[in-house]
Structure 1
Amino acid sequence: MRSKLLNLCVMSAAAMLASSVALVQPIEAADTNKYMVIDGHNDLPWQYRERFGNRLAPLDVAKRQDDLDPPLHTDLPRLREGGVGAQFWSVYVPIEAYGGAPGDASLVLTQMDVVRRLVEKYPDDLALAMTAADIRSASAEGKIGSLMGIEGGHAIENSLGTLRSLYAAGARYMTLTHSKGLAWADSATDAPRHDGLTSFGETVVREMNRLGMLVDLSHVTEATMHDSLDTVTAPVIFSHSSARAVADHPRNVPDSVLKRLPKNGGVVMVTFVPGYISQDRRDWDLARTGEQAGLKAMYPHDEEKRSQLLTTWESAHPMPEVTLAQVADHIDHIRKVAGLEHIGVGGDFDGISAVVKGLEDVSTYPALFEELKARGYSDADCDAIAGGNVLRALEESEKVAQRLQRKALAQDPPKKMLGAE
C-alpha cells in the first residue's frame, strides 16, 4: 500500500517545479517524507566493486538489500522511503590503489561506468544528471537524479587535461584530496607538505570553476580550505563533513571556514559518520587505535592473541552510542556560524561501517527532519537543508562557468614544478 501511495504521489508531483531553494513542491507521501533530499556522498558504486567486481547482476537494488552481511545501506526502495530526489554517487578509488603511472584514471572511469550502467538498468527510477536543470527534470518525472563526484584529486594524475576529460565523462564535483596529500594539495589526514594549495593546486581549482565542477573541500586541511576559498569564484561544497567545533575531527569544518561561507555561497553537507559526529566516539576511536598499535608491538606475530586482548579492552571500554540528535547539533552549529543557506546533507552511506542510531540507512532522512522540526526549523528551512541549498550552489557554479569559459584553457606546468612550492 505504501509503495502504491508513493507512486501516486510521485506522479502527482511530476509537473510541479519550484524555485532554486525549494526544487519541486514536496512529495506529500507522508509528513515525514516531504523534503526532497539531494545527498552529497554515497558509496554504492564502490560496494559493487568490492563485493561483485563491478558486476551489477548479483545485486538487484530494485529490492530491499538490508539483510546482506555486512549490511548495505542503499537500495531503490529505501531511497524512495528517504525522499532522495538526487544523489551524488561517489566514484571513488583509494589512493593506495593508484600506482602513480599514466592510466590510473581508468580506475575512476570504471566507477563512473558503474553509475551509468545502474542508470541504464533502472531507467524507471534513476536518471543521469549533469546539471541543476537535469535534477529538476528527473524530479518532475519521479526519478532520482544521479550525479557523479570524484573522491580525491589523485584521479586527475596531475593533469588538467585529465580533469577536463573526467568532467566531460560526467564528474560534477571533485574532492581535492582523499586520505593522502598530493603534489598540489594537503589532506586533513596526512602530514602537510605545502601549507595548503600550491600554485598548480590553485590552477586546478580555477579550472574546476571554469568547467562548472564543484570544488569539494571535504578531506582537505584547514589551510587548503582557506587557499581554495581565496581562489574560487564559485561556491564550494563539503560533500560529507560536519562541524569541528562540535566534534574535533580533522575531517570536519572549523569555524574559521564556516564564517567565510556566506560570502562564498558554499554548502557544508553534514555527514553521518559516527566519529565525526560525537566527541566521545572520536576519543574512543583514538583510544582503540592506540590499543591496537600497542598490542601489535607486544604481539607482532600472534594475531589471535591481539584479537582476544582487543575484545577484552572493548568489553571494558564500551563504544559510545552516537545519535541522530547529535547530528542535528552539528546543523544547529553551522546555522549559528554560517547561516541556514549553507547546510546540506551527505550521509556517506555504504562508505561507512558504523552508523548513527536513527540514521541507519538512506530511508532515515525523514527522521532527521522530524528532529529539526521539533527544534523549530520550518518546512522551508528543512527543504533548503535537504537539497535546495546545494541545488542553488550548483546553479551558481554553472553560471560562473558560462562566464569563465570565454577565457583560454589553463596549461599544465612542467612536471618538475609540481609540489616544489
Structure 2
Amino acid sequence: MSKVRAVVHGLLTVLFVAGLVVFLLLSTNHEWPWKGSLPKDPLKAAQKILEASPVIDGHIDLPELVRMVYANNVSAVDLEHEMPGHVDIPRLRKGRVGGFFWSVYTACPEHAGYDAGEDFLNATWRVRDTLEQIDVAKLLIDKYPNTFQLARSSQDIKDAITEGKIASLLGVEGAHQLGNSIAVLRQYHELGVRYVTLTHMCHNAFADSCGFLEAPEPLHGGLSEIGVALIAEMNRIGVLVDLSHTADATAKQALKLTKAPVIWSHSSSRAIWNVSRNVPDDVLELVGSGENKTDGVVMVNFAPYFVGAEGNATIASVADHVEHIAKIAGKKHVGLGSDYDGIEDVPSGLEDVSKYPQLFAELYKRGWSRYDLAGLSGGNLLRVFEGAEAVARKLQQEGTQPAYDIYKKRTDIGKKREL
C-alpha cells in the first residue's frame, strides 16, 4: 500500500506542477480568455486587464531625450526617479507597461541643419547618429537589467513579460537613417532593430513622406525603385515595415508589395483629425485579414496636433481615434504608439506613461471587452510581429537571396557586373 500511495502521490504532484505551468503560460498569453467578472469600477477593471496583458507601446523616444538633455551620457540618467520627460521606471510600472519600441531616431537632414542634396548624396551624419541612438538604448537597457530586457523576437517579448521585465525593442524612425543603403538595414538588424519607418517628415531615396500636417509635393509618386527592393529585404530578414510618416501612395504601394504584416508604429486617424500625418480611411480599408487586405496594426499616436484641434486633445479624443481605426480595419488591427518623450505636449489625462490604464478605462466604459483591450494593449502587435517572423523564415528556407540593389544615383561605388 505504501508503494501505491507513493505512486499516486507522485502522479498528483506531477499533474499539479504541469497544471501550474500551463496556468502560468496561459495567464501571460494575450489571447487567454480570463474567467470571472471584472471590477465594476472601469479603472480597476482596466488595471486587472493590463496585469495579464500589459501595454506594448510602438514608439517611445527616450533615446532622443537622452541625446538632447544628457548629451548621450547614460551615467547621468536616473530612470529610477522622475525624469524630465514622460518616461521613467516608476511611471512605466504604474502604467502597466510590458514592452515598448525604443525609437532610435535622428532628424531629417534639413531639420538638423544639413543639406542632403537633390539626390540625397551629401553626407549628413544620419547613420552615425543612429548608431549613437542604438548605443544609448542598449546602454540604458543594460544599466537596469532588473527592469529592461532587450527583445529581438516575439518570443523574447513574451519571455521578458513572463519574467516581470519590460521588453525593449529597437525601431529606426526613417529610411533617411539608412544612408541610401540596404546593406545598412542588414547591419541595423544585426544590432537588434526590428522596424524601420520608410520615411520621416522628409522624402528620402526610398519613398515619399506625408510631411507634417500637410503633404509636400511627391518626389517618387510613392516608393522608388530601391524602395521596392528595401521592402523585399525587410520581409526577408524580419524587419517590420513601418508606414507611419509615409505618403498615402507610399503606404498603398507598400501594402500591395509586402509579403509580411506591417505596422504603423505611431499614427492616428485622418477621419477624426484631418492632417496628412494621420491614416486615411481608404488606406485603413486595405488593412485586415480578408481578400485584398494586408495584416497590420495601426498604433495610435498621442501627439495633440495629430489628435484634435488645439486644446481639444484628451483621453476621450484619443479613444475616438482608437475606435475609428477599429471600426474601419477591425479591433484586431489597432494598438498604441504614444510618441512619449518625442512630443512637447500631451493630451489631457495622458500626461505620461503612467496613464495608459485611464485610456483603457475609457474604452472599457465604451463597451470594449477584455479580449479587445488585450489585443489593443499588445496582442495585436505580437500577432503581426509573429507573422513577419514567419514570412522571414519561409523566405530564408526557400533560399531567397539578400538584396544587392544599389541606389542608382550613387557615384562612389562601381556598377553592378553580371557574371
Bucket of the pairwise TM-score, normalised by the shorter protein: 0.7 to 0.9
Aligned partner of 1:215 in structure 2 is: 241
| 2:292 is equivalent to residue 274 of structure 1 | no
Residue from 378, 383, 394 that aligns with 2:369: 378
Aligned partner of 1:312 in structure 2 is: none
Aligned partner of 1:360 in structure 2 is: 351
| 2:88 is equivalent to residue 75 of structure 1 | yes
**Residues paired across the two proteins, number:** 362
Aligned partner of 2:178 in structure 1 is: 156
Counterpart Cα distance in 1 of 2:61 and 2:82: 17
CA displacement at 1:335 relative to structure 2: 1.3
Counterpart amino acid of residue 85 in structure 1: G
CA displacement at 1:198 relative to structure 2: 1.3
Residue from 26, 31, 52 that aligns with 1:22: 31
Q: 1:35-74 residue pairs with structure 2 within 5 A?
A: 35=50, 36-65=54-83, 68=84, 72-74=85-87
8 Å CA contact 1:359–1:365 kept in 2: the answer is yes
The alignment yields a C-alpha RMSD, in angstroms, of 2.3
8 Å CA contact 2:287–2:295 kept in 1: the answer is yes
Higher Cα radius of gyration: 2
**TM-score scaled by length of structure 2:** 0.82
Aligned partner of 2:230 in structure 1 is: 204
Q: Summarize deviations over 1:6-63 as a string: whole Å, max 9, x none.
A: xxxxxx999434586438989x995332321000000011010001110112220111
Q: 1:18-417 residue pairs with structure 2 within 5 A?
A: 21-22=30-31, 31-33=45-47, 34-35=49-50, 36-65=54-83, 68=84, 72-96=85-109, 97=112, 100-101=122-123, 104-189=126-211, 190-262=216-288, 263-278=293-308, 280-281=309-310, 320-405=311-396, 406-413=399-406, 415-416=408-409
The alignment partner of 2:267 has SS state of: coil
Aligned partner of 2:13 in structure 1 is: none
CA displacement at 1:409 relative to structure 2: 1.2
Runs of 4+ in 1 over 6 A off after TM superposition: 23-26
Q: Summarize deviations over 1:141-173 as a string: whole Å, max 9, x none.
A: 100000000001011111111110111111100
**TM-score scaled by length of structure 1:** 0.82
Q: Give percent identity, aligned residues only.
A: 44
CA displacement at 1:336 relative to structure 2: 1.1
Unaligned runs of 5+ in 2: 1-20, 117-121, 412-419
Q: Summarize deviations over 1:293-312 as a string: whole Å, max 9, x none.
A: xxxxxxxxxxxxxxxxxxxx
Counterpart amino acid of residue 398 in structure 1: E
Counterpart Cα distance in 2 of 1:338 and 1:223: 18
Task: Between 329-338 and 102-111, report the one with greater CA deviation.
Answer: 102-111
Unaligned runs of 5+ in 1: 1-11, 282-319
Task: Between 190-199 and 234-243, report the one with greater CA deviation.
Answer: 190-199
Counterpart amino acid of residue 202 in structure 1: V
8 Å CA contact 2:267–2:299 kept in 1: the answer is yes
1:102 to 1:410, Cα distance in 2 relative to 1, 3 A: farther
Counterpart amino acid of residue 155 in structure 1: Q
Counterpart amino acid of residue 364 in structure 1: K
Counterpart amino acid of residue 335 in structure 1: A
